[in-house]
Amino acid sequence: MGKVGKEIVELDVDGLVEELNKALADEWLAYMQYTSASKLVAHPSAVKELGEIAKEELEHADELTERIIQLGGKPIVDPKQYFEKTNCGYEIPTEDVVKVLKDSIKAEGCAIRVYNKIMKITEGKDLVTRQLMQHIMEEEINHEQRFENLLEWIK
Ligand SMILES: [Fe+2]
Ligand SMILES: [Fe+2]
């Protein structure tokens, strides 16, 4: 990380990187869960929403990876670590669209709590990470709403 870029971060960088790596594990697992689910379910709207939202989870993984590197940390790159570090876990997708949507809503709720927590840790101490957390959290809130709407419509 650049010298001044590091100076302005007023908290334990190693601890922050660990939180960001745990969130990164969640994003990779959400991306895989939604991508696989989008191939298994038959409902066209669910296929579309799961596919689109999976792409946004992949973008979140990219954004977290870039921020970890800016902070001088090492992003996790070994998929075994996804399961060791995840906050939100992984639900094996099935062809049952109602179960898939319920699992997805649960994953989004977990992600919202994770980003809210990291926003509070970084508030006033690392504005760049804080801004990224808000950006990602807003998208997670949108995902939760979209999955809830779809479940309501399908049921
Ligand atoms: Fe995400
Ligand atoms: Fe999401």
Residue 4 lies in a domain: no
Residue 24, domain member (yes or no): yes
pLDDT in tens, the chain (155 residues): 677 887 789 899 999 999 999 999 999 999 999 999 999 999 999 999 999 999 999 999 999 999 999 999 999 999 999 999 999 999 999 999 999 999 999 999 999 999 999 999 999 999 999 999 999 999 999 999 999 999 999 98
Q: Residue 74 is part of a domain; what is its CATH number?
A: 1.20.1260.10
Residue among 108, 87, 79, 78 at smallest CA distance from 20? 87
Domain-located, residue 124: yes
* Those residues with Cβ within 8 angstroms of residue 133's Cβ, 6 or more apart along the chain or in another chain: 115, 118, 119, 122
Identify which ligand lies nearest to the alpha carbon of 135: 1
In degrees and rounded to multiples of 5, residue 77 shows phi and psi of -125, -5
- What is the distance in A from the centroid of ligand 2 to the CA of 107? 7
CA of 143 to the centre of ligand 1 (A): 9
pTM of the model: 0.96
How many A from CA of 65 to the centre of ligand 1?
12
